[in-house]
């Protein structure tokens, strides 16, 4: 039986981030995911590295400050995976904030970043119309401008994974589902099933850690881990729209009349629009956007951008994710206002669960866990190792000029970037926006030629 110090269940950003921290600290670790790595919540985010300007409303200054520090760290550490861009908050006659209140909030945001953010500015109605030509001019008073980061969420998780795998004592298996755990005197025996559902393997772990995000409440009791539900899952959907369907020169943050926040973020030669916050009443693995949710976002866009060429054909693809928000005792908050703080639980002496938080703060969250686990293994925890740059970059960059794709390049990506499926290749290594099932041609190579490469994997 193979033996590990730690088995991490769940290969989203939190699992990959924790794997990297433990790997750099010399811990023998196995990461398993039942699907492709970073194929669930951690590729379904709004793709922002941000402090969370809206959390200023709930006076969550500590969280905003920490997230801004992390945002500015990743902008420096991984400039190939993220970049800073301006966001505009339009102000209307009916907006709940007066311009001076918005300005005070934006100043506070810059202050909490230790003035590492590019400085905010206030625009009058005329300047706003020049920057966002298709925005509704009726009642427009102006806009506040501030800066946040845009990230390729899936690739940042993956590059944390590649970095971890450069350490010889580390393994990672996608399409391996944890189906049972048995508590032993030294830790856990963890049984893992492969994707053919024919091969079972049991490994020994001194500690088992669940970074299974929104799947945790259902999964943990099924594995015999003592657990009472802790999540307030909240579904969010996004649309990728064709460039030009809305005329905007920067990103826009809209507060809708039903008090939801919708982002419109031009990037990757398209426009990302999201999100909704709805309660979840369906199976959440590989969750999809419903027609009702798509219609809702289109309606919001048509209201705020009446001069745009927007229709159903403007949509390239849609995606959805479930926020693993941690329940707060006695909280009456709406989903949008539930705290984005994370929580770490220790259901037994040799198991940990981490839920909640934000993508942006994953390094801080996983550090808290690593700081707890590493000394228990008799090692000294070194907190600064995750401040080093990631050592293995993706072959195909997401942003900027992309090289011409060749079949040899695809083979190289498959061999070195832990790719298991065609979907995994096109969505996360090549960052294509179309849904894989509709792709006939992959950056100039017939899809069938590429699919054939996966037949023997
Ligand atoms: C709509 C939306 C927008 C968001 N926007 C932002 C944003 O702009 N910025 C930001 O900072 N944060 C954002 N977030 C939050 C952020 O995306 C999440 O906090 C983060 O991705 C959670 O990552 P995770 O690793 O905990 O979960 P996941 O990425 O879901 O990973 C959990 C993994 O566990 C695996 N798993 C489940 N069961 C098993 C099993 N039995 N065996 C093995 N593996 C298993 C799953 O396959 C999955 O890959 C957003 C979230 C949503 C939903």
Where do the domains of the chain lie? 3-42+154-230+336-387, 83-150+232-323, 407-453
Name the residue of 7, 9, 12 to mutate for ligand 1: max ligand atoms within 8 A of Cβ.
Answer: 12
Query: Which of 73, 75, 109 has the alpha carbon at shortest distance from 89?
Result: 109
DSSP lists the bridge partners of residue 190 as: 181, 203
Which among 261, 276, 343 is positioned nearest to 63, based on CA atoms?
Answer: 343
Q: Is the pLDDT of residue 305 over 60?
A: yes
Give residue 298 CA to ligand 1 midpoint distance, Å.
25
For residue 192, the ligand 1 atom closest to its alpha carbon is 42
Cα–Cα distances in Å, from 335 out to 50, 260, 276?
A: 19, 10, 10
pLDDT of residue 338: 58
Q: Is the CB of 364 under 6 A from ligand 1?
A: no
Ligand 1 atom at minimal distance to the Cα of residue 48 = 8
Q: What is the mean pLDDT of residues 329-354?
A: 78
Dump the DSSP string for 63-85: HHHHHHHHHHHHHHH-TTTEEEE
Distance from the alpha carbon of residue 227 to the mean position of ligand 1, in angstroms: 19
Q: Give the pLDDT confidence of 45-82 residue by residue, as tens digits.
A: 999 999 999 889 888 999 999 999 999 999 999 999 99
Q: What is the pLDDT of residue 340?
A: 73
Q: Which two tokens stand for residue 286?
A: 């590989």
Alpha carbon dihedral 441, 446, 448, 454, in 10-degree steps, equals -90
- The verdict on domain 3-42+154-230+336-387 having CATH code 3.40.50.720 is no
To test ligand 1's pocket by mutation, which of 40, 191, 192, 421 has the most ligand atoms within 8 angstroms of CB?
40
Question: Can you tell me the distance from the alpha carbon of 301 to that of 84, in angstroms, rounded to the nearest whole number?
Answer: 24
Alpha helices by DSSP H, listed for 265-361, are: 291-304
| pLDDT range class, residue 184, cuts 50, 70, 90 | very high
What does each C-alpha distance from 69 to 16, 64, 224, 306 come to in angstroms? 20, 9, 38, 37
Statement: residue 334 has pLDDT above 60: no
What tens digit of pLDDT does each residue of 245-270 get? 999 989 999 988 888 899 999 999 99
The answer to whether residue 162 scores a pLDDT higher than 60 is yes
Tell whether ligand 1 has an atom less than 6 A from the beta carbon of residue 187. no
* pLDDT score for 335: 53
Quote the pLDDT of residue 257.
81
Range from 56-60, 327-331, 372-376, 443-447 carrying the lowest mean pLDDT: 327-331
How remote is the CA of residue 211 from the centroid of ligand 1, in Å? 9
Per DSSP (E only), the strands in 70-199 are 82-92, 121-124, 140-151, 170-173, 176-183, 188-194
Does 316 contact ligand 1 (Cβ within 6 A)?
no
In the predicted model, what is the mean pLDDT of residues 292-297? 94
CATH superfamily, domain 83-150+232-323, is D-Amino Acid Oxidase, subunit A, domain 2 (3.30.9.10)
Query: If you take atom 4 of ligand 1, which residue's CA is the nearest one?
Result: 45
On the question of pLDDT at 298 being above 90, the answer is: yes
CA 44 to centroid of ligand 1, rounded, Å: 8
Q: How far apart are the first and last CA of the chain?
A: 25
């Amino acid at each position: 039986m193979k033996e590990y110090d730690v088995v991490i269940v769940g290969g989203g950003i939190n699992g990959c981030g924790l794997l990297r921290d433990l790997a750099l600290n010399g811990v023998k670790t196995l990461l398993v995911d039942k699907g492709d790595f970073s194929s669930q919540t951690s590729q379904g985010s709004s793709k922002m590295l941000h402090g969370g300007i809206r959390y200023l409303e709930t006076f969550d200054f500590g969280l905003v400050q920490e997230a801004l520090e992390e945002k500015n760290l990743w902008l420096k550490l991984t400039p190939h995976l993220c970049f800073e861009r301006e966001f505009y908050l339009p102000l209307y006659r009916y907006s709940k904030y007066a311009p001076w209140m918005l300005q005070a909030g934006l100043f506070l945001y810059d202050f909490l970043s230790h003035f590492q953010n590019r400085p905010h500015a206030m625009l009058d109605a005329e300047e706003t119309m020049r920057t966002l030509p298709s925005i509704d001019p009726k009642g427009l008073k102006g806009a506040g401008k501030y800066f946040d980061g845009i990230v390729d969420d899936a690739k940042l998780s993956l590059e944390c994974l590649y970095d971890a795998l450069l350490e010889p004592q580390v393994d990672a298996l996608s399409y391996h589902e944890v189906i049972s755990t048995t508590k032993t005197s030294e830790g856990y025996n963890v049984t893992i099933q492969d994707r053919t559902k024919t091969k079972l393997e049991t490994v020994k772990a001194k500690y088992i850690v669940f970074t299974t995000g929104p799947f945790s409440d259902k999964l943990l009791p099924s594995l015999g881990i003592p657990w009472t539900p802790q999540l307030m899952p909240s579904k969010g959907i996004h649309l990728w729209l064709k460039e030009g369907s809305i005329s905007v020169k920067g990103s826009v943050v809209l507060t809708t009349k039903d008090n939801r926040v919708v982002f419109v973020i031009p990037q990757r030669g398209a426009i990302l629009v999201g999100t909704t916050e709805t309660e979840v009443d369906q199976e959440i693995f590989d969750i999809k956007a419903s027609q009702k949710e798509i219609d809702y976002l289109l309606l919001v866009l048509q209201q705020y951008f009446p001069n745009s060429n927007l229709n159903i054909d403007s949509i390239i693809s849609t995606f959805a994710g479930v926020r693993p928000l941690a329940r707060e005792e006695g909280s009456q908050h709406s989903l949008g206002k539930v705290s984005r703080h994370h929580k770490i639980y220790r259901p037994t002496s040799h198991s940990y669960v981490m839920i909640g938080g934000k993508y942006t703060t994953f390094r801080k969250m996983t550090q808290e866990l690593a700081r707890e686990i590493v000394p228990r293994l008799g090692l000294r925890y070194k907190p600064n190792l995750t401040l080093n740059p990631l050592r293995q970059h993706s072959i195909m960059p997401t942003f900027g000029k992309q090289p011409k794709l060749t079949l040899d390049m695809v083979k190289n990506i498959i061999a070195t970037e832990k790719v298991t499926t065609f979907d995994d290749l096109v969505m996360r290594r090549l960052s294509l926006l179309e849904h894989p099932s509709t792709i006939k041609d992959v950056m100039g190579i017939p899809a069938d030629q590429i699919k054939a490469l996966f037949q023997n994997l």
